[in-house]
Amino acid sequence: MDRLDNTIRPYAWGSTTAIPHLLGVEPSGEPQAEMWMGAHPGAPSRTGRGTLSAVIDADPERELGAEAVARFGPRLPFLLKLLAAGAPLSLQVHPDLDQAREGYADEERRGVPADAPQRNYKDANHKPELICAVTEFDGLCGFRAPAEAAALLAALDVDSLKPYVDLLRARPEEAALREVLTAILTADPEEMARTVGEAATACARLGGDHAPYAGIAHHYPGDPGVLAAMLLNHVRLQPGEALFLGAGIPHAYLNGLGVEIMANSDNVLRCGLTPKHVDVPELLRIVRFEAADPGVLRPEAAPDGEEVYETPIDEFRLSRYVLPEGAPAHDLTLATPQILLCTAGSVRAGEEELTPGQSVFVPAGEKAEVSGTGTLFRATVVV
């Protein structure tokens, strides 16, 4: 197996302390938002044999296994991350596979440059995600029932929000959510900024269920995404709990440290809380306008102490081992590629001793015996 040397992305919303604290190093004072583990071309992990992408390219079947290559092609189909949010990420949705292929082909056909700020589709793949909390973790996931969103907005007692409240109460669910989100994103920017300012003041005064939105407005004053966020479920995950984000589900991460896994894609349609491009017509085509419980996931026990986060996705499978002191070694050998990440304690994987934040890549079929005391996340694929 290969010990991984991973890139940390310094996005502005990143926590300055969470990843350094996990690694046991002094904070630099700069945001450290994401640690990437995998073979994504934007920041492939480094190994003693070269970058992980180069290692896989040299012999895909040896590294990934024949079944994984036949199913997903000669590439690692997932990206594993440590994600540390110190401020809200952009409110966003991801396309399904057909939408991604169609959107990518259309932008290629129209000659939209790959690095153009208005480009929506960087590739032809979907981007389902799973986030598992390492610390307490706050996020937004999926639409509230329109009546609940109406009550939340009505309590602010802001005159310019009353038409949205009336729509949410009068229209059928899909139409209500679509019409209100459309109205928020297409309103006059100056008028919307004033409305958001009034709403933020009211949220801060009311506290309780309104408090998360006051916090969002503090980071994004005047942004229409603050009101769009109030249409969504607020979720607070406890360590070990997770959220699955499927296609078309609006979501945003607000605060906390988590282990995130996703299909290898950069396709994002933004709704707000960002200075980046918001393509309203394309966004409205992708969003699923239906209220739903956010569906907090808890791991399901499997043989040999493995705890699995079940999702409908084959490109990735995330599980964890919580290893008590004195526990026997576990044989994690698989016919598929794996990345093993330690988040607590000290875990021995093969010849490698892993402490929090350290990881290894295990080629398909490679012997993978783990022991020690701590928490180990395991990322692989389903074939």
* 270: annotated active-site residue: yes
Residue 288's nearest CA partner among 163, 177, 125 is 177
For tokens 């980046």, the residue is 276
**H or E stretch covering 369:** strand 369-380
**H or E stretch covering 133:** strand 129-133
Residue from 3, 270, 320, 348 carrying the catalytic annotation: 270
For tokens 């994690």, the residue is 332
Residue 151 near residue 145, CB atoms below 8 Å: no
Q: Cβ neighbours of residue 155 under 8 Å, at least 6 residues apart?
A: 202, 206, 210
DSSP letters, 217-270, are HHHSTT-THHHHHTTEEEEEEPTT-EEEE-TT--EEEEEEEEEEEEES----EE
Across 209-224, b (16+ Cβ under 10 Å) vs e yields: ebebbbbbbeebebbb
Residue 53's nearest CA partner among 318, 361, 380, 353 is 361
Q: Write out the two tokens for 19.
A: 């990843």
**H or E stretch covering 44:** none
Q: Write out the two tokens for 348.
A: 């021995």
13, β-bridge pairs: none
Q: Catalytic residues, which ones?
A: 270
